[in-house]
Structure 1
């Protein structure tokens, strides 16, 4: 009898082959910082002096772009690390059952990636705190050593918007770092990835792009540019680290990143060109320093696109045989990316050429564009100005849905035409609503703001919810091999998420939906603050969309959630929450104090405009608009209630056929016993 030999353990790569990636991280940050710092010090200082801008000293002139560039690289590293731990590295799924992805833990590689993301976020927080006094020094023309006192820093945090932005970034980054260190399960990695991406948003809302004419285009295009930049740089940093650790499934990770990089390259190119076209004329590209910086940045971006071509044609096909080839090219690519980031940083300190039209009126300065007539159905339907943020999001949502639908057809499966219609109405409706006169007038008058609030929180989200996007994803894509989850399994995990279960709890859901009405409109100072800047309008619109989507997802959404309430309970939620909108409408119509008075006066609206009457019209919109979604939602819930009632009837009928209707017999016996007791008592 021969003894059975146990299988040999997998070969462990020699420790000498596993290399640390921290030198690459530090090198990329230093390259970006030095490029930005030296361009500012030797190339821009005389330009600022010629414009009469006070010289804060070499320490600030060099240090401000130096640390800002480092912050961008660190943000990219944090984003890329959480992207890697969430989607590039397969977690340890219990029994390799992808349906149990919510119980998965991180592998050693995933743990290291998550830790890197957390440390990078903490470093972002530290650099952001350094940037705040540097900004104050630069704005005031005071040497940095004289700014570092309580009085100057209090002034900076109270009056200098850019310094405030850096402090907000520091708080957000610190929160991401803390959450990253205490989160060891896979389920938190996608959340940390999203939170790390949000660190970029405050910085994307300030700078040259946030001022002057067309600044709505400038800000939104710059934010797109910055978001895809950190995804592009961060993703390659995460891949390099994974490869140098000799992590598993490198081919899968590279394939996923390759798609992301292709999209990022296109998005950065388009958004960069849009932003440049707004700032300067093409004739200024080669005759001004601002233009030369754009030219240098464009050339470096094209070089990065060439690196992507090399990866797709040479390194990725040979990844299995020559993995080091991919890593060597990627490291050079990171150096070019860092240089590009350093060049881009200097645009924030470079005076752009004079605007095409130096005679901007108040509305163009505050809003970014001009409206010459009072809102009417005619001009709201005929005017068009593509909304770079929400108009683009609507087109992307429609395209992604169509792509998933194509996959469903390829698999030979059927999909509801009604769901497709609802989604396309919602996504394309978002683009049309925000890009036509309706969206253009939202920042100009209170009544149109309230119309936008109602549409963005009650109409668009309802249509999108009825499109059932998560169910479509689960139908369009197959589950991965055991222990190797795919987008199908990520969607399933989301529908079982405890976080989603908490958010869609009926009580929590109603409170979050009503929060924006009570807090935003009952707090006069908060509304004034929110509408005074373009960033406030963008954040409010996002909040309305997300809040409305969560609300209707729980109430009528066909997509699954962890614990959906019974139909009668959801009907109760509907009837309890909608009247509050009516109450708020009545409150606004009776309010005798004008909300956002300072902001609306600053627009110097060119038509005869009664602010108080306009606010009462806005209150009327809030009062009456809730009836539109109520009809659709009530109708759907009523149909679901009838279906549930029929299903219960069929269940009890089937049960009665099996057990002879034992329940009814026991019920009749109970009634007979009660009758006998009553007769004895009499």
Structure 2
């Protein structure tokens, strides 16, 4: 109601700025209203699945946390999961409704005229926001159906990821995704939107649990409080970044858009103070007065909803004029301008911090060091080489995405290939050698029987059936090669991915995830459902190496220029032969891919030899102790053979003498 009311009041300014007619009262009120309802439903879905997965304990067979991988949801977990599924389904239906609403809004056509299927097709093909809502609807409906049928605890973690994924398309459109510095705008908005869902949805799920008087309320509230603290920090920082790149500081107080930002900022501060009150007052008294939490939290959710409603209106409020109204084509396409050709000398002096992957690199570093601190505080040790590998991985990720390599990746095929190879083959290799999952299990104690903790969660994930399938050598090798070949062999797909910031984000995420899974199975130090002998892994790597290298050779010989229209449209300030640059990229893919694979080959070969030496030493030790069954069996076999040979000779010798008189001494025979 807050979002719709403010939007209606500001609609006239929006229509004048966009130069479109009034679409009618139904669209005027319905678009912000249903968008706000959709956001709250998405938050409820994310929070409910997180609640079922992490905030309360499932039903663990025999209360043995080692059996967590086979755990089923408790009654309260089942109710939360069903709530999340229904919320996702409703969110998907709203996504479908938003397609004609968006078309009505941008065209100034009454809603009744945009409800026919032909108009929907037009909206999805021509209107970015409608396309985003169509993607939201598809993902949300899949998540909702999956939530209705999934009953295991392990499935809830996948549903959490799916629920977060269904809001990502909304983060890729709007004011943040257009104009100058839209890479900063989009990335910061994604951080902001995801953690708003986690924050708001988690509290709604806890309120529902508290009203049911369910168990583990104090445990769930403590876990949520930690997540909420992190979420509000991320929301505050990302919100400031997003605002700073779009409006001048003076516009905060002199424009309607700035006034909305101030109202939203004030609301977030109030919510932060309410969260502090939870930690300081409510949680310590939750055991004696559980009803106090529900009453306080309901007020907090109402404030959250109002702040979300204020945020909704930003999408229908014209922002102040851009700082630079004369953006170049390059700045419009990429979000920034390039001024000099990258070389080996200057590629590391260029710098533009990547709000997505640069932040992830910093968070992974901080998280690993925190886990290391917990291990050391308990008096345990941790291999130094693991820490070194992890820091090499996060440092390489930061430098690759934030230096001249990441800066020039969207503009040059050769730089694209460098970043691709580093993100898929170098960074994941370093990270898996850091053994992060073992560190988590070492940093946290196992939970009480039937009450799993981080240690038990990680242990269950490493034994999950899905991971067993994904890390099978055939499946793992196929997925790693598939993403490489599908991107570069299907030319229209490559052109689509490089022409949109969303495509760059998707590619980088796929490179990292696919490479991590691949090298985890080959040389990773973390446990897996099936740990295959080094000889088998070495054989799979050897068999797949030609396929890794063939793609680079193919690209070196390709005469069709991938993404030619996009690269040409950028208007780089230096001369660039696109075909030669593409061939250089193919050579980089061939050469740079061989170095990590050679390193992995060496590591596997050494591990194979080390395993052989261990087996030999064990065998020799058993022999020396007289406990080796094979050795005893071998000696018994020799004894039997020796005894059997003597009897055989005597018998036939006797028979020969009896039957052949010529064999007697002195006979001519």
Q: Does TM, normalized by the shorter one, top 0.5?
A: yes
Report the equivalent of 2:444.
477
Structure 2 residue 316 is the aligned partner of structure 1 residue 346: no
Structure 1 residue 578, shift from structure 2 partner: 2.6
Q: Whose Rg is larger? A: 2
For 1:70 and 1:670, locate their aligned partners in 2 and report how far apart those are by CA, in whole Å.
86
TM-score in terms of structure 1 length: 0.92
CA contact (8 A) 1:506 1:565 kept: no
Aligned to 1:8: none
Residues 189 and 674 (structure 1), Cα distance of their counterparts in 2 relative to 1, 3 Å cut? farther
**Alpha-carbon separation, structure 1, partners of 2:427 and 2:357:** 12
- Shift of the 542–666 alpha-carbon distance from structure 1 to 2, 3 Å rule, reads farther
Distance 1:187 1:674, change over 3 A: farther
Aligned residues: 645
- Aligned equivalents of 2:644 and 2:547: distance in 1? 47
1:119-142 Cα shifts (integer Å, max 9, x gaps):
011001100000011111112121
- Please give the secondary structure, in 1, of the residue aligned with 2:348: helix
Taking a change above 3 Å as real, the CA distance of residues 92 and 671 of structure 1, as seen in their structure-2 partners, is farther
Q: Which residue of 1 aligns with 2:76?
A: 109
- Cα shift at 1:666: 6.3
Q: Secondary structure at the match of 1:256?
A: helix
Give 3-state SS (helix, strand or coil) of 1:286's partner. Answer: helix
Residue deviations 1:317-358, cap 9 Å, x none? 111111111111110000011111111111112111111111
Shift in Å, 1:670: 9.9
Partners of 1:163 and 1:188 lie apart in 2 by 30
Q: 1:317 to 1:373 in 2, by over 3 A?
A: same
The answer to whether residue 350 in structure 2 is matched with residue 386 in structure 1 is no
Name the structure 2 match of 1:662: 632
Distance 1:322 1:427, change over 3 A: same
Asked if structure 1 preserves the Cα contact closer than 8 Å seen for 2:11 and 2:28, the reply is no
Residue 554 of structure 1 deviates from its aligned partner by 0.1
Q: Distance in 2 between matches of 1:154 and 1:672?
A: 88
Q: Which residue of 2 aligns with 1:179?
A: 146
Matched, 1:201 2:131: no
Alignment CA distance shift 1:649-1:316 (3 Å):
same
The alignment partner of 1:482 has SS state of: coil
Kept after mapping to 1: 8 A contact 2:13/2:317: no
Tell me: CA distance 1:653–1:77, structure 2 relative to 1, closer, same or farther (3 Å).
Answer: same
The equivalent position to 2:393 in structure 1, one of 416, 423, 426, is 426
Judge which range, 44-53 or 501-510, deviates more: 44-53
Does the aligned pair in 1 maintain the 2:20–2:107 contact within 8 Å?
A: no
Q: Is the 8 A contact 1:461 1:552 kept in 2?
A: yes
1:515: which partner in 2? 482
Matched, 1:438 2:405: yes
Q: Is the aligned partner of 1:369 residue 2:336?
A: yes
1:261 aligns with 2:228: yes
Q: C-alpha distance in 2, partners of 1:673/1:190?
A: 67
Off by >6 Å, runs of 4+ in structure 1: 669-676
What does residue range 7-26 of structure 1 map to in structure 2 within 5 Å? none
Q: Does 1:67 align with 2:34?
A: yes
**CA deviation vs aligned residue, 1:360-393 (integer Å, no higher than 9, x gap):** 1111100001111111122211111110000000
Q: Check 1:671–1:343 CA distance in 2 against 1; reply closer, same or farther (3 A cut).
A: farther
**What is aligned with 1:607?**
574
Structure 2 partner of 1:625: 592
Out of 67, 70, 78, the position equivalent to 2:45 is: 78
> Aligned residue for 1:28?
none
Q: For residues 156 and 635 of structure 1, do their structure 2 counterparts lie closer, same or farther at Cα, with a shift above 3 Å needed? A: same
Using the TM superposition, give the Cα deviation of residue 44 of structure 1 relative to its aligned residue in structure 2, in angstroms: 3.0
What's the counterpart of residue 601 of structure 2? 634
Contact 2:13 2:318 in 1 (8 A): no
Residue 297 (structure 1) aligned with residue 267 (structure 2): no
Deviations 1:490-511 (A, max 9, x none): 0100111111111101000000
Larger mean Cα displacement after TM superposition, 158-167 or 274-283: 158-167
CA RMSD of aligned residues (A): 1.8
Asked if 1:249 is matched to 2:219, the reply is no
Residue by residue, what CA displacement relative to the aligned partner does 1:635-681 show, whole Å, maximum 9, x if unpaired? 221221122112222333344321461343367589989999xx99x
Deviations 1:381-425 (A, max 9, x none): 111111000000000000000010001001111100000000011
State how far apart, in whole Å, the 2-side matches of 1:463 and 1:477 are.
23
Moved more, 542-551 or 308-317: 308-317
Aligned pairs for 1:397-408 within 5 A: 397-408=364-375
The answer to whether the 8 A contact 2:329-2:570 is kept is yes
> Paired residue for 2:289, among 317, 322, 347?
322
- Tell me how far 1:196 sits from its aligned partner: 0.9
SS state at 1:121 partner: helix
* Distance in 1 separating the partners of 2:197 and 2:319: 24
Is it true that 1:44 corresponds to 2:15 in the alignment?
Answer: no
Secondary structure at 2:285 match in 1? coil
Q: Give 3-state SS (helix, strand or coil) of 1:422's partner.
A: helix
The answer on 1:546 being equivalent to 2:516 is no
User: Aligned equivalents of 1:353 and 1:542: distance in 2?
Assistant: 33
SS in 2 for 1:380: coil
**Partner of residue 410 from structure 1, selected from 369, 373, 377:** 377
Any idea what the Cα deviations from partners look like across 1:533-572, whole Å, max 9, x if unmatched? 1000001000000000000000000101001221111112
1:506 aligned residue: 473
Cα distance, 1:667–1:506 mapped onto 2, change above 3 Å: farther
- Partners of 2:301 and 2:17 lie apart in 1 by 35
- Partner SS, residue 626 of structure 1: helix
Task: Report the Cα distance in structure 2 between the residues aligned to 1:163 and 1:593, rounded to whole angstroms.
Answer: 33
Shift of 1:581: 2.4
Distance in 1, matches of 2:41 and 2:121, equals: 27
Matches within 5 A, 1:53-202: 53-202=20-169
Q: What are the within-5 Å matches in structure 2 for residues 220-259 of structure 1?
A: 220-259=187-226
Distance 1:51 1:522 in 2: 41
Distance 2:13 2:243 in 1: 23
Quick check: 39-48 or 237-246, which moved more?
Answer: 39-48
